[in-house]
Amino acid sequence: MKTAKFVLRDKWQKDWGFSLLELLLVIAIVGIIGVVAMPRMGSLHSEKQLEKAAQLMATEMRYIRQNAMASGKTCIIYFLDSSNLYRVNTPDENRYERLPEGISYSCNNFPGRLSFNRRGIPNRAGTLSLVNEKGDKLYIIVNLKTGRVRVSDSPPDNWL
């Protein structure tokens, strides 16, 4: 009985571990999966940058609206299309901001600016479109009656 246990244990120890060929095969498979997945990872980064920029712009517009209602004065955001800048103008501040790297204005049907009066009503309804380097677009839409600002991946029905 002791001999049988010893023989089984000895056989087990001989088969322990991986051969060099098995390790190289696994490394090759992981490398191929990595090469296939890398372009998609870059694409995801570009999409996330666009989503982040659109949410940031919508937040700035909402900030302008809230500031106008709180201060009782008209507040304005200017869009400087050629330089990918925008300017926030409230009673308390006047600052310039740049769109994130790789993001630019695609189309803007606000006449260079969007303002909200003391009741939070915009000077006009409109849509601001942002585009990334791949050509993906997101739309920031402002409703005239309510002043609601929303982000959409499709343009509004009345889009240019």
Q: Report pLDDT digits (tens) over 1-42.
A: 555 554 555 555 555 677 888 888 899 999 888 887 776 666
For residues 128 and 130, what is the distance between their CA atoms, to the nearest angstrom? 7
Q: Shortest CA distance to 130 belongs to which of 69, 86, 95, 75? A: 86
**Residue 50 contacts residue 44 (beta carbons within 8 Å):** no
The superfamily CATH assigns to domain 43-160 is minor pseudopilin epsh domain (3.55.40.10)
Provide the phi-psi class of 122: left if phi over 0, else alpha when psi is between -120 and 50, else beta. beta
Total-model pTM: 0.71
Q: Shortest CA distance to 58 belongs to which of 27, 86, 29? A: 86
Q: Where are the domains positioned within the chain?
A: 43-160
Q: Shortest CA distance to 126 belongs to which of 118, 138, 136, 114? A: 114
List, for residues 58-104, the tens digit of each pLDDT value: 999 999 999 999 999 999 999 987 788 999 999 999 999 999 888 99
pLDDT at 45: 73
Q: Shortest CA distance to 128 belongs to which of 142, 115, 117? A: 142
**Residue 65 contacts residue 147 (beta carbons within 8 Å):** yes
